[in-house]
């Protein structure tokens, strides 16, 4: 199979995503797992670039790598003794985890095979950022209402997070 | 404005190579000598006090959670900023509503004292009594 440079980079990112994800679930040390998750999230941003979703890729880095991962690391560091914790998979977890992942895999596979055509995008060429298109869509087109509803969702998340964590802090 | 992601890849590759090369070069040049001091955690030349694996204040977690929410809000501001000039007043009002929603949340956590780094014993006592 002949690989052009683009495909090579794509497969590299795909391999990085899968490889680091495998490390996340198999490694015994929770800190290494958290840092391996960073590689996974980062290379998913790379895969978004291949889908010409540049805004999504930047968002992935800002929110997931810059925010959620920091949160996970805080969680690891705040739990006493978790740095030395040795993670272990139980048989039941392995079974149900396998069932769920195989179901999702089958679902994705059916979507991939039912997609009529794949456009080969030239990632090496310069491209127009999608930020303007997204802006127009959420500001004046059909996604105006979902955009405002998203603010309510964020409000609920904010108050919920404060409410739950407040109780935990008081119990310290 | 066009953007080429090959530049980003180049940055990524050069960054990785820079780190690896520096580590390899220093590994080749260094004298390998192990003294007790080398195994101490580095704290700017001071002798470290206590264990490095301390429990962080749980406040950090709350602040990080709140940060995350406003992080997502900022992400929505970027596409808005690009088209703001074209759409004008409508976009301005839409974003006002959007930000107002989150301001309500900010006011709530502010009043409830979640942003306070060290909460007074009095306020905690009051809450417990409630």
Q: Where are the domains of chain B?
A: 5-129
- How much is the average pLDDT of B6-23? 91
Give the largest CA-CA distance in chain B. Answer: 68
* Chain pair A-B, CB pairs under 8 angstroms: 153
How many other C-beta atoms can be found within 10 angstroms of the C-beta atom of residue B81?
13
User: Of A85-89, B26-30, B84-88, B121-125, which gets the smallest average pLDDT?
Assistant: B121-125
HSE of B114, CA atoms in CB hemisphere, 13 A: 25
Residue pointed to by tokens 């919920």? A160
- Between A18 and B35, residue with greater pLDDT: A18
Task: Return the bridge partners of B3, or none.
Answer: A127
- How much is the average pLDDT of B8-24? 93
Q: What is the pLDDT of residue B25?
A: 94
pLDDT tens sequence for chain A (172 residues): 567 778 888 899 999 999 999 998 888 888 888 889 999 999 999 888 888 888 898 899 999 988 898 888 887 777 666 566 666 666 677 888 889 999 999 999 999 888 877 666 666 666 777 888 888 888 876 788 888 888 999 999 988 888 887 765 555 4
**Structure confidence at residue B83 as a pLDDT band (50, 70, 90):** confident
Give, in order, the Cα–Cα distances in Å from A61 to each of A23, A47, A56, A106, A160.
Answer: 20, 12, 9, 28, 24
Q: How many angstroms separate the CA of residue B28 from the nearest CA in chain A?
A: 27
The ipTM assigned to this model is: 0.74
HSE of A43, CA atoms in CB hemisphere, 13 A: 18
The pTM assigned to this predicted structure is 0.77
Structure tokens at B127: 């809450």
Q: What is the pLDDT of residue A103?
A: 96
- Between B1 and B107, residue with greater pLDDT: B107
Q: Where are the domains of chain A?
A: 1-90, 128-172
Closest of A139, A168, A1, A112 to residue B57, by C-alpha:
A168
Q: Searching chain A, which residue's CA lies closest to the CA of residue B124?
A: A170
Which chain A residues have a beta carbon less than 8 Å from that of B10?
none
Alpha carbon distance B11, B20 (integer Å): 14
- Between B30 and A41, residue with greater pLDDT: A41
- Between B45 and A54, residue with greater pLDDT: A54
Structure tokens at A139: 């500001």
Question: Which fold is adopted by the domain A1-90?
Answer: 1.20.120
Number of H helices, E strands in chain A: 7, 0
Give, in order, the Cα–Cα distances in Å from A97 to each of A110, A119, A164.
Answer: 20, 33, 28
Q: What is the pLDDT of residue A37?
A: 92
How many other C-beta atoms can be found within 10 angstroms of the C-beta atom of residue B24?
10
3-class secondary-structure state, position A86 = strand
Angle A118-A17-B62 from CA coordinates, rounded to 5°: 115
Top-level class of domain B5-129 = mainly alpha
In B50-109, the residues whose Cβ lies within 8 Å of chain A are 53, 55-62, 64-69, 71-76, 78-84, 86-87, 90-91, 94, 97-99, 101-102, 104-106, 108-109
Structure tokens at B33: 């000598």
Q: What is the pLDDT of residue B55?
A: 66
The percent of residues in chain B predicted with pLDDT above 70, rounded, is: 84
């Amino acid at each position: 199979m002949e690989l052009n440079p683009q495909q090579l980079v794509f497969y590299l990112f795909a391999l990085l995503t899968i490889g680091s994800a495998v490390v996340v679930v198999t490694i015994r040390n929770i800190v290494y797992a958290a840092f391996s998750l960073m590689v996974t999230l980062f290379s998913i941003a790379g895969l978004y670039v291949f889908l010409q979703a540049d805004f999504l890729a930047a968002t992935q880095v800002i929110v997931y790598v810059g925010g959620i991962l920091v949160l996970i690391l805080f969680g690891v560091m705040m739990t006493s003794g978790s740095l030395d914790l040795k993670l272990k998979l139980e048989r039941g977890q392995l079974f149900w985890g396998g069932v769920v992942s195989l179901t999702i895999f089958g679902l994705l596979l059916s979507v991939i095979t039912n997609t009529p055509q794949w456009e080969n995008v030239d990632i090496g060429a310069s491209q127009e950022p999608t930020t303007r298109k997204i802006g127009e869509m959420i500001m004046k087109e059909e996604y105006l209402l979902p955009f405002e509803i998203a603010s309510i969702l964020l409000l609920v998340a904010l108050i919920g997070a404060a409410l739950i964590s407040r109780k935990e802090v008081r119990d310290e | 404005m066009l953007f080429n992601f090959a530049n980003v890849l180049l940055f990524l590759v050069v960054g990785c190579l820079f780190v690896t090369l520096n580590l390899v070069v220093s590994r080749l040049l260094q004298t390998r000598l192990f003294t007790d001091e080398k195994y101490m955690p580095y704290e700017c030349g001071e002798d470290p006090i206590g264990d490095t694996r301390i429990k962080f204040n749980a406040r950090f977690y709350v602040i990080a959670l709140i940060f995350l929410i406003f992080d997502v809000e900022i992400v929505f501001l970027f596409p808005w900023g690009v088209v703001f000039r074209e759409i004008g007043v409508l976009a301005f009002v839409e974003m006002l509503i959007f930000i107002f929603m989150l301001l309500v949340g900010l006011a709530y956590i502010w009043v409830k004292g979640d942003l306070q780094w060290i909460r007074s014993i009095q306020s905690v006592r009051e809450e417990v009594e409630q």
